[in-house]
A and B are shown apart, each in its own frame.
Chain A
């Protein structure tokens, strides 16, 4: 296994605030790796340490087994797509994209060919002479991408690159980014606070919280086997039962979480009879809220007057289905579907 990046006991503080706290991380060559976490969790600082814009207070950063901790960013073979794109406003698209070639003193036809090639890949042919201020958000994003890809870096760092785009464009760019990563066969390190984005694009995800990494795993495992209540709560929709409630309701001595799609609503006695009581947890809930979400309803139940439980109910064939507030239902989910939480 070729290690594209290795972070070893990295610490970084700003004054009294510990931005990253003893981080260890290994990323494989060619991986699409996401750093996921809420704002202020240290993921962007982590990216800056990898790019070299910030020096860690302690720890070692290695790229392809070479210690680069004290090497300035312009000597590291990584490139960054910035959150605000950081396009040079005084240069046109061509000059922006060709900037890294220009500083290497490349000239003439070989430089032109490289620029044309990359502009073709990101679908920006014909925009060569526009200034960044004359482009839309999506186009600027492509320029930033082209500019950092033109040198074919071994690692591309992306700092919330789709954050400023609208939902439709985001989804389109997610597919394009993934295609580009496959095409160039380079390692992507992708910072995002959008769990859906991280789940759908990544090979592996590191979940950040308060400067620490809570869990590193594949999207499927992060979703289905969250290691603690923070991860469970942050990824997808989930309902958490604390230790006391778990004990009281289900005679279970550990906190646990359950995904809304795993809960079934048992509206009639016949429904209840079909359930194997050995395999399911069963409880009663009062409807507290019912949201229409297009293909499904999201119903929030109040259980035992203090626990909230979210349930997704598919609307197949009955689009006008509704649950009145304050009605009582019996709810059940498989014992094997819960995630026991340690923290």
Chain B
């Protein structure tokens, strides 16, 4: 028996791939068949269509559903609204997140850094719905923000902001501004952490070298720090962009009655039973992300990985 175990241990020592594969195969099978398989089946439905009379799915290859998606102005509105908001949230998170990440990577002692890591991660430990609902209260007409403006005698300013066409609304909790704030808050950690990691890998000697060669702080930022942090910003933006594209809870709780892609998918596959159209809607974020990553790669964002 000992001899058998001994030769088995020799075998797995020699064949390193054996252990590797025996751990890898189950998740690969799971990911390949259960996850990707069902995703492909679902997305494949966008090439079928719903029979208007019977309400039954017709399993025949057709571009009718995709045509329906892109020909209806209401659907186009949903797509533009979602992609536009996702882009704004991404840019907003990058602008807010970069200085925090830079501070963490370059100016903190190890202790402060751990504290900041925990501070950034902490919100992720509490429930997503709880956080969104608490924002609903913060942003509501009777909420703390309105109260604050009132105390400062600045209600007119809040009213002016809310009166702005498109992004305004009856209150912050029912407006694009509110959605933007909540989305940015929720996804900010996903932007900060990759940027922090990429800045951590920029040696201080590069920054010193840039100053040494006559570049002032602004030139150093644009020519050295930003290009080297770009992979981190892109990685972060992939998170914030795709997470915003797919979310349907925040638009449901904070938003106006206008639909976003996530809500459209939810409604079409649920109540309406229009799985082909739901599938066509879910195709959009995937295509948008593929295009985004393609251009990021073309711009050289991943060259130095």
Contact = CB atoms under 8 A, between A and B. Distances in A.
B208 A90 contact: no
A89 B203 CA distance: 11
Contact of A90 (B203, B212, B213, B228): B228
Interface stretch (A56-64, A80-88, A108-116, A302-310): A80-88
B214 A80 contact: no
Contacts of B212: 51, 53, 73-74, 78-80, 148
- Identify the interface centre among B209, B210, B211, B304: most chain A CB within 10 Å of its CB: B209
A103 interface: yes
Given A89-B304, A99-B210, A103-B223, A74 B205 contact: no
A79 B213 contact: yes
A103 B215 contact: yes
Contact of A103 (B203, B214, B227): B214
* Interface size class, chain B: 20 to 34
Contacts of B228: 89-90
A94 B205 CA distance: 20
A82 B208 contact: yes
A84 B205 CA distance: 8
Contact of A151 (B208, B214, B219): B214
Given A80-B208, A82-B208, A89-B304, A74 B216 contact: yes
A73 B203 CA distance: 17
Contacts of A330: none
Contact of A86 (B203, B214, B219): B203
B211 A147 contact: no
B208 A104 contact: no
A281 B209 CA distance: 54
Given A82-B205, A89-B228, A53 B211 contact: yes
Contacts of A83: 205
Contacts of A89: 228, 304
A100 interface: yes
Contacts of A53: 208, 211-212
A147 B205 CA distance: 14
A80 B209 contact: yes
B114 interface: no
B209 A86 contact: yes
A40 interface: no
Contacts of A163: none
A78 B209 CA distance: 11
B206 A86 contact: yes
A100 B214 contact: yes
Interface in A201-238: none
Contacts of A80: 208-209, 212
A148 B203 contact: no
A72 B218 CA distance: 14
Contact of B209 (A72, A82, A102): A82
Interface of A: 51-53, 72-74, 78-80, 82-84, 86-90, 99-100, 102-104, 147-148, 151
15 contacts: A51-B212, A72-B211, A72-B216, A73-B212, A74-B215, A74-B216, A78-B212, A79-B212, A80-B208, A83-B205, A84-B203, A88-B224, A90-B304, A99-B210, A103-B216
